[in-house]
Amino acid sequence: MSKTPDWHACAAIVERGDPTRFRAAMAAKPEARAVLFPIYAANVEIARAPWVTQEPMIAEMRLQWWRDVMEEIIEGREVRRHEVATPLATVLSKEGASAFDRLIEARRWDIYKDPFEDTAAFTRYLENTAGGLLFASCDALGKADTQVAKDAGYAAGLATFFQAILELEAAKRVPLLDGRHSAIVELANDGLDRLSRARKQRKQLAPAGCISLAHSEALLVQAARDPSAVSEGRLQTSGLRASLSLMKAALFARW
């Protein structure tokens, strides 16, 4: 193991694998970074697991390894020594580990090429991945409400999912049950509605855990106005606007 503090190693993983959340964590206070980086690094490792191999069984084993880590945390047992799992165990509560366990189970969809069973399955995927990560982050920072995290996480996850459509299609996945522009607009508006609902209860989530939500509204508004930006891979925010949004979320807890 490196002599560098564990969360610094986690920060390096996040910087490489999830630049958006890296910038969000760096916008938080130093004490919050030490909490967020192990959580975000675990998410990077889990999200990457289905994609580093063409063998479904190996991918399943990689995800099961992380489920075993969550079981150790939930049961209060000693957690295996690992550059991410070790610091993660120091910040994650049993409730946060349970949320991560559901996140890992949801990531099994990424292994295979089957479409989502229905709209409800797609909704659960976003709630358990982005929503679960948001809950675990805010819970570790001292305040988290399950439903508010689901609403805000769904919106953030949808925005990110929209940005990944071309990449998913290139990997022979079927990301959307209905890829028509009208359906994309409907999804984007649903995400905006849930984000608005979450904002009314924003005090139920730890502010530092929500900085990563800063770009969600702009992306969903763009998708609702120009659904072809989703299908053509043009959905993005400008560098200046993204930076200002992060500053606003960090300084004023306004996302």
Residues 213-247 have pLDDT tens digits of 999 999 999 999 999 999 999 999 877 777 888 88
Q: Tell which residue, 171, 169, 104, has the closest CA to residue 136.
A: 104
Residue found by looking up tokens 């709630």 in the block: 127
CA–CA dist 94, 52 (Å, integer): 28
pLDDT at 5: 52
CB neighbours of residue 22 within 10 Å? 23
Predicted confidence (pLDDT) at residue 6 exceeds the cutoff of 80: no
Interval 86-107: pLDDT, tens: 999 999 999 999 999 999 999 9
State both tokens at 109: 């969809």
CA distances 165 to 70, 173, 176, 231, 238, Å, are 30, 9, 8, 7, 19
pLDDT in tens, 180-198: 999 999 999 999 999 999 9
Residue 25 tokens read as 């964590």
Rounded CA Rg of the chain: 17
Residues 6+ apart with CB under 8 A from 201: 145, 148
**Pick from 7-16, 75-84, 161-170, 236-245: least confident:** 236-245
Task: Kindly provide the residue ranges of all beta strands, DSSP E only, lying in 118-203, ordered along the sequence.
Answer: none
- Taking residue 223's Cβ as centre, other Cβ atoms within 10 Å add up to 26
Q: Tokens 């996140």, residue?
A: 103
Domain ranges of the chain: 6-252
- Quote the tokens at residue 27: 């916008």
Per-residue model confidence (pLDDT) at position 21? 96
Fold observed for domain 6-252: Farnesyl Diphosphate Synthase (1.10.600)
